[in-house]
């Protein structure tokens, strides 16, 4: 209910509520378009982030296999990719990801919001459960794939009490690092989330919004770059400090995995080399 991708449906003249729940768009020829982009003269290789707006492992991916096709192209072209997901389907592609990780071309981040199955069930009804996501961390890590955990979102007064437990569980599963994102309520998401609070956690609704506004300069949301991810003020500083201590205590303060771009199989460069060889 908190997903900041919901307004994308409004942009497409659909509702960020029921339409977001029932309609999804997919690119039918994404792998081909990717090859076209890579083949253009002047293309500069840099890490592609999958999962920055919506999850690359939507339930329909099990049938469409678009993400797997994209990963196959990236593997063949030696192009780096970082993935953020809440979906256990990522384990289906462990063969491709482990092959790429061996070449320092892939990393995965599992987004874990809560370890409480009941809260997960109402807040993220279509996503994998907490145990399944921790299993993903464990199996991906065992396959040599750099794995991080992202507690996203942290909802003050609702799941922030789980910070230390999620950090400990993530470390036990083999994660290298942990990060977090404070709840974001842009555009229509604000009203939808408030409605969810009133329905599923009415006794906490007032406190949750009060705490959030204290971290957002008195507003429900502040979109300012550099602040929208973490918030500002004493409570935001306290949240940041708790994460720092949890990282240190559990050995999760590893640096962000830097993926290689120097292995990219640039066909234009190959043609240039043949021309002057």
Grouping H, G, I as helix, E, B as strand and the rest as coil, residue 169 is helix
For the chain (length 277 residues), average pLDDT per consecutive 10? 86 90 90 95 94 90 96 97 97 98 97 97 92 98 97 96 98 96 92 95 96 95 85 96 96 85 80 44
- The 3-state DSSP class for residue 48 equals strand
- What pLDDT, on the 0 to 100 scale, is given for residue 256? 74
Cis omega (within 30 of 0) for bond into 153: yes
Extract the tokens encoding 217: 């300069």
Q: Over the stretch 83-127, which tens digit does the pLDDT of each residue have? A: 999 999 999 999 999 999 999 999 999 999 999 999 999 999 889
Report the predicted TM-score, pTM, of the whole model to 2 decimal places. Answer: 0.91
105 CB-side CA count, 13 A? 23
- Number of C-alpha atoms within 13 angstroms, CB side, residue 203? 0
DSSP, collapsed to helix, strand or coil, labels residue 12 as coil
Residue of 72, 109, 63 whose CA lies nearest to 93: 72
Q: Which domains does the chain have, with CATH numbers?
A: 6-183+234-253 (3.80.30.30)
Please provide the average confidence, as pLDDT, over all residues in the chain. 92
Structural contact between residues 132 and 121, judged by C-beta atoms closer than 8 angstroms: no
- So what's the pLDDT on residue 116? 97
Question: What is the spatial distance between Cα 59 and Cα 268, in angstroms, rounded to a whole number?
Answer: 37
């Amino acid at each position: 209910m908190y997903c900041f991708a919901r307004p994308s449906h409004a942009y497409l003249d659909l509702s960020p509520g029921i339409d977001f729940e029932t309609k999804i768009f997919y690119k039918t020829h994404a792998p081909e378009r990717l090859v076209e982009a890579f083949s253009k003269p002047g293309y500069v290789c840099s890490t592609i982030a999958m999962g920055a707006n919506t999850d690359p492992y939507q339930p329909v991916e099990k049938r469409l296999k678009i993400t797997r096709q994209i990963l196959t192209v990236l593997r063949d072209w030696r192009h780096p990719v970082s993935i953020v997901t809440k979906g256990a389907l990522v384990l289906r592609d462990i063969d491709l990801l482990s092959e790429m990780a061996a070449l320092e071309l892939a990393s995965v981040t599992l987004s874990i919001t809560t370890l409480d199955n009941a809260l997960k069930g109402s807040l993220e009804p279509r996503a994998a459960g907490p145990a399944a996501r921790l299993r993903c961390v464990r199996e991906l890590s065992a396959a040599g794939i750099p794995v991080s955990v992202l507690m996203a979102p942290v909802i003050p007064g609702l799941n922030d009490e789980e910070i230390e437990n999620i950090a400990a569980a993530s470390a036990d599963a083999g994660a290298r690092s942990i990060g977090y994102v404070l709840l974001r309520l842009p555009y229509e998401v604000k009203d939808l989330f408030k409605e969810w609070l009133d329905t599923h956690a009415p006794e906490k609704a007032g406190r949750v919004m009060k705490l959030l506004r204290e971290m957002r300069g008195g507003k429900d949301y502040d979109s300012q770059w550099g602040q929208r991810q973490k918030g500002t003020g004493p409570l935001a500083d306290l949240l940041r400090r708790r994460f720092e201590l949890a990282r240190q205590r559990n050995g999760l303060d590893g640096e962000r995995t830097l993926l290689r771009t120097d292995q990219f199989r640039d066909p234009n460069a190959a043609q240039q080399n043949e021309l002057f060889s």
